[in-house]
Structure 1
């Protein structure tokens, strides 16, 4: 399922272009969610703002570890659920890393009041992480 990686990067980048070109001028409110344009120089919840070098090292390290873990684990056990989750995490992480390298910040566009502002790449990382958690919980119950 490595095809998920380029698809997640593509969807993330298209949404960021749309956000920059359209939402920066015309934010959209949908119920309690606001679609808008924001430049995030930090990481999750704004941590490490304006520290591109540290975030670049952190992102690169995390992606390398995830790739190595994926290769090691898939040689040991074939699991479509694990493969789906890990590739979603890697694709999302690469989408945000691409922004950091190319423009020095990550474009965010989905604002949930009292929570956070995030993007499609963040969603891939989060959903992939949930899938991995479900997989490992299920596996621990059946070993």
Structure 2
């Protein structure tokens, strides 16, 4: 089940990024709900909110280290509460999705634009939801039934 979640997130991320890059020019924006939600093609050289734009290799190495750590501790992670384990899987899938962009073109494709928040992508959503699941499991010390 975890592998399926990982693949679904990764495929959704890469397909949406491909669709955006194939149909938009960088900076081009399509209002879906005017002044509220747009699809805007942004090439992000940094991390969240475009921070650390010159740190491409740091983010590449961090994603690779995350992948290695996940594989090394996979057996222990599987014994954790489901919210924690699947949160780790979602976070890893998002990190790998953005890693693919960084390796392929040196920039991450972002496109969800809510106008009051920096532009983001499917991988970013997976990372945030994954971390939220992990935090939820830790805070509430969830136990599997």
TM-score (normalised: structure 1): 0.84
Instruction: Give the whole-Å Cα distance in 1 for the aligned partners of 2:48 and 2:11.
Output: 21
- Structure 1 residue 27 corresponds to structure 2 residue 30: yes
1:26-64 CA-to-partner distances (Å, cap 9, x unmatched) read 623325121111101111111111332222122222333
- Structure 1 residue 92 corresponds to structure 2 residue 94: yes
Question: What SS class does the counterpart of residue 7 from structure 1 fall into?
Answer: helix
Q: Give the aligned length.
A: 140
Cα deviation for residue 78 of structure 1 reads 4.8
**Please, which runs of 5 or more residues in structure 1 have no aligned partner?**
none
Structure 1 contact 85–127 (Cα < 8 Å) conserved: yes
Root mean square deviation, CA, Å: 2.3
Question: What SS class does the counterpart of residue 3 from structure 1 fall into?
Answer: helix
| Alignment partner of 1:116 out of 112, 115, 118 | 118
Question: What SS class does the counterpart of residue 10 from structure 2 fall into?
Answer: helix
- Structure 1 residue 3 corresponds to structure 2 residue 4: yes
Instruction: Give the whole-Å Cα distance in 1 for the aligned partners of 2:71 and 2:119.
Output: 27
Runs of 4 or more, structure 1, over 4 Å off, are none
**Please, which runs of 5 or more residues in structure 2 have no aligned partner?**
none
TM-score (normalised: structure 2): 0.83
Structure 2 contact 9–94 (Cα < 8 Å) conserved: yes
Deviates more, 1:25-34 or 1:1-10: 25-34
Change (3 A) 1:137 1:51: closer
Q: How does 1:31-70 map to 2 (within 5 A)?
A: 32-70=36-74
Instruction: Give the whole-Å Cα distance in 2 for the aligned partners of 1:95 and 1:73.
Output: 21
Cα deviation for residue 87 of structure 1 reads 0.7
Deviates more, 1:18-27 or 1:99-108: 18-27
